[in-house]
Structure 1
């Protein structure tokens, strides 16, 4: 299964990055999503702006350190893991995503898709965190 691993740095506290990533009630910063439907503590469904739904099951939740889940929709199944690490000048976030295409003809496109998805997600996250730092927005901590 194709895997993409990306490590990025954010010049803000680990708690702020954690809160932004894991707060499923506040996802307007995600440019790809229309909404997120929270089913219970470990299950949620992301709905893209084009109407496509992906089911998620949280497999690990260690506050301010590790968040992981399994994901599945009609085209793929896989997993995502985020490791949040405090650094001297902010937070290091390592995202590892593994995806298995359900249709043989999709296999050649998966590595490029993974890279584009991760770039979009991390670009959106950086904009949200930069915006929060500029406006002094509270993260609830």
Structure 2
């Protein structure tokens, strides 16, 4: 049986310093800019839970935290498991953020929907991030 592991890689440019982008992305105590979340529950330095506005919870474990350079974590809920990695690169005109997200569907019938879901979620996150950074 093959395993569905869609991966989405996106690179975006923001016209602000890498320190600002890092702060917004990694500050789990300030997530109101995320249009899809009701709240984030920080369990400890390496573990947090995102709760969507519809009440769905996803558990996260931070696997890498190199300030202003790289933030990565694994994620899991009842429908999927996966990983996300963001690498932050200071440029002459701001910050380049490289995002790589991989999702493994837990149910065979979800496999056809995962690539589209992944792209939608990543687009929503980056659109919300851009709005927050350009305030």
TM bin (shorter chain): over 0.9
Task: Give the 4+ runs in structure 1 shifted more than 2 A.
Answer: none
Q: TM-score under structure 2 normalisation? A: 0.97
CA-to-aligned-CA distance 1:53-74 (integer Å, 9 cap, x gap): 0000000000000000000000
The partner residue of 1:30 within 9, 31, 34 is 34
Which of 87, 98, 111 is equivalent to 1:107? 111
Structure 2 Cα separation of the partners of residues 109 and 4 of structure 1 = 14
Query: TM-score by structure 1 length?
Result: 0.93
Q: Partners in 2 of 1:98 and 1:67 — Cα distance?
A: 15
RMSD: 0.2
CA shift at 1:109, angstroms?
0.3
Q: Which structure 1 segments of 5+ residues have no match?
A: 132-141
Distance in 2, Cα, partners of 1:121 & 1:26: 14
How many residues end up aligned between the 2 structures? Answer: 131
2:92 to 88, 102, 105: 88
